[in-house]
Amino acid sequence: MSTFKPAADEVAALGHTRIALGVEYKGSRYSGWQRQASGVPSVQLALERALSKVAASPISVVCAGRTDAGVHACGQVVHFDTQAVRPDKAWVMGTNAELPHDISVTWMRQMPADFHARFKATARRYRYVIYNDPIRPAHLGEEVTWNHRPLDVARMAKAAEPLLGTHDFSAFRASQCQAKSPVKQLHHLRVTQHGQMIVIDVRANAFLHHMVRNLAGVLMAIGSGDKPVEWARQVLEGRDRKTGGVTAHPYGLYLVQVEYPAPFELPGRYLGPHFLTGFERLMG
């Protein structure tokens, strides 16, 4: 399958249309977002195959943020260029008809040539969902992280406070992270409880590889009482990943929103995951 992507100033000249899509998926069956040379199942590969059938020509997509194996998305954004002319409905309903049950296109929008799903994004938002109960859940086993030890949400929320703002997040960065800089700006980091569910809701200008899962691991260690509240700040200031504890499981992690400048006018959609939508009024 072709991976050719014309530059923005070439799109119109080549007679291409740039299209953006909203995509949601359950990541449990996939090796992650990114298409791999080995051909193992990935979200990108499944989406490109479905779109190529609708377009009757090869389609290659660019996403806002690559997710790891087992990680889910409710608000992934992608773009692609095509010469195919199809009704708007075809790019949504037609593509969904070709997709497996655990991937869905939620909206489409024809975009100007200078739109880029990754590089034009101004912020990204993730939610990490923990099921906190002594008994392992029979449902949502691959969609939440189960923690059997009682977690103190107030301690977790207090520990999160020093992490807000612009910092060097090297201690929360995976060793294989390819980001040019470990400095990121955390706009909010909220910990809330809804029955047996604890939700870590985090928004930033960008994220490092495994950053949210490492944040979740630190906060859960504090919530369980294994570490003091001050430990989150100490890990941050130490800038050493080896001091940052265990990387939390991918199951409970969701990319829920990608933000862009207002002139692009991308469609809005409720924040997920679906089983948490009843808490939207409380979570904001």
pLDDT in tens, 101-113: 999 999 999 999 9
Specify if 283 maps to a domain. Answer: no
Q: Is the pLDDT of residue 280 over 60?
A: no
Residue scoring higher pLDDT (1 or 176): 176
Specify if 100 maps to a domain. Answer: yes
Q: Is the pLDDT of residue 70 over 70?
A: yes
- 71 and 142 housed in the same domain: no
Specify if 281 maps to a domain. Answer: no
- 147 and 106 housed in the same domain: no
Residue the block writes with tokens 């909220």: 190
Mean pLDDT of 126-134: 97
- 96 and 195 housed in the same domain: no
- 181 and 222 housed in the same domain: yes
- 164 and 53 housed in the same domain: no
**CB neighbours of residue 195 within 10 Å:** 9
- Nearest by Cα to 88 from 112, 62, 106: 106
What distance in Å separates the CA atoms of residue 63 and residue 33, rounded to the nearest whole number?
9
Give pLDDT tens digits for 33-56: 999 888 799 999 999 999 999 999
- 137 and 249 housed in the same domain: yes
Q: Is the pLDDT of residue 63 over 90?
A: yes
- 105 and 180 housed in the same domain: no
Name the token pair of 278: 């009843």
Mean pLDDT of 215-242: 96
Q: Is the pLDDT of residue 71 over 80?
A: yes
**Count of the separate structural domains present in the chain:** 2
Specify if 272 maps to a domain. Answer: no
Of 9, 68, 81, 152, the catalytic one is 68
- CATH for 147: 3.30.70.660
Specify if 273 maps to a domain. Answer: no
pLDDT of residue 50: 98
Specify if 67 maps to a domain. Answer: yes
- 56 and 133 housed in the same domain: no
Mean pLDDT of 157-163: 98
pLDDT band at 176 (very low <50, low <70, confident <90, very high): confident
Residue scoring higher pLDDT (141 or 237): 237
Q: Is the pLDDT of residue 148 over 80?
A: yes
Segments forming the whole domain that contains residue 104: 8-120
- 146 and 111 housed in the same domain: no
pLDDT of residue 14: 64
- CATH for 71: 3.30.70.580
- 58 and 28 housed in the same domain: yes
pLDDT of residue 58: 97
- 216 and 142 housed in the same domain: yes
pLDDT of residue 278: 61
Specify if 73 maps to a domain. Answer: yes
pLDDT of residue 10: 52
pLDDT of residue 3: 44
Q: Of 104, 120, 136, which closes a domain? A: 120
What residue type is 183 in one-letter code? V
Q: Of 120, 154, 175, which closes a domain? A: 120
Q: Is 68 a catalytic residue?
A: yes
- 98 and 137 housed in the same domain: no
Name the token pair of 94: 């037609």
Q: Is the pLDDT of residue 12 over 90?
A: no
pLDDT of residue 2: 40
pLDDT of residue 258: 97
Q: Of 57, 85, 120, which closes a domain? A: 120
Specify if 168 maps to a domain. Answer: yes
Q: Chain-wide mean pLDDT for the chain?
A: 92
What is the bridge-based pairing of β-strands 72-82 and 253-259?
parallel
